[in-house]
Amino acid sequence: MAIKTFDQMAAAGEFPLIGFNAAGLGNNPYVDAIATARLDTHYFTVAPRGHQPDYIKSYAGSIGGKPFAVRLPFAGERIAILDGAGGFTLRQSYVEEIRRAIRHIHSWGGFSLLDMHNYCRWYVRASGPVSGRVVQAWNGGFALWTAIGAPDCPVNYALLARIWAAIAREFRDEPGVFGYGLMNEPHNMGSVPDGGVNVENLWTTNVQRLITAVREVDPRHFITVAGNSFASALYWPRSSDALKNLQDPGGRLLYEAHQYADKDGQGGGKWTQATDSVDYRDRVADWAPFIDWLKANGKRGIAGEFGGPDHLPGMRTYFTELHKYFDANHLLRFQWLAGPGDDDDDPNGMDRNDGTLKPNTRSLMARIGNTTTAYGPR
């Protein structure tokens, strides 16, 4: 099968339904506030490296070039070099690393969603710990997590819109680009840790200018908008209803929700007890508020993150039934987490450092290469 470009895929109405997150390029963004982060040390790529397996081949090597999708997180602090006077330049070495990943993914038939994995925040250099604030220490330096739009953050939404326009300009002609994920998991942490601003309100109020900025340079590719409360599918109507008024002149806006199947809906470190079990019916139903909201408002959406370990009672059935639910609603979905940069025992990890896949990929791998003529629900 000949591998299609994005435009050929769209013209044929063969949009991928199955994807996964390869997040290594976005690892450790706080390092960039202190020094220049280094590939293979602070962050990682799925592009070919002599010392690591071809992770993309592990997923797509047997599907003959059929389309799939990869959510490709990157760090805003790493791609945009701020000049301290309201301007910036893109870090070309990092741009090219992202480009190599996009092209490698596309060589197997995949399309990349470029995800700014910043949580509506930006790391800046600090002189030391700050009471009540999130501060990362590394190599004798400190990085303070500031909320975009807050007085102590060097990035506001006007600047972020310009950064996004520059990113879209760099990648719009790549045949393997799927679209742009404007921001990962907006959420509030409280007045003190957020520097006195309401992060979710700022996101809701300003995301339209990001859409507009991207569309001024790229009218074709998809744009995804994550909801508030960490993009929670369960709490979407309560936290993210105001996003329904967004306008996309390109007609390819997708709303992005996340939801994990542990008792707190967070995954990751919450999967610590080997005796935990999953009520698969309830956990699949956690996605219903988001999907019902999409239906009620005539919107289209994606599942940007879900995942978990295979060994817990009920988990295999959860994956099977969740995929059936997504299939019925024509939702593109991205399981977390694939590729290099995490330990073999990561509870959400989908593969090992030798490139072999874990059992929690069974349901996804049974479907990879599946397509839809249009995203839903419909």
Contact between 271 and 241 under an 8 Å Cβ cutoff? The reply is no
Task: Answer for the pair 78, 29: CB distance below 8 angstroms, yes or no.
Answer: yes
Place of tokens 């909801």: 227
pTM above 0.85, yes or no: yes
Closest CA to 240 of 281, 296, 285: 296
Contact partners, residue 342, CB within 8 Å, separation at least 6: 24, 349
Find the angle CA(99)-CA(35)-CA(119) to the nearest 5 degrees.
65
Displacement of CA 40 from its chain's centroid (Å): 20
For the chain, how long is the longest CA-to-CA vector? 57
Beta strand 253-258 with 18-22 is unpaired
Q: Tens digit of pLDDT for each residue in 325-357?
A: 999 999 999 999 999 999 998 889 999 999 999
What are 240-297's pLDDT values in tens digits?
999 999 999 999 999 999 999 986 666 655 665 656 788 999 999 999 999 999 999 9
- Domain 6-121+148-372 is of which CATH architecture? Alpha-Beta Barrel (3.20)
Share of the chain above pLDDT 70, in %: 97
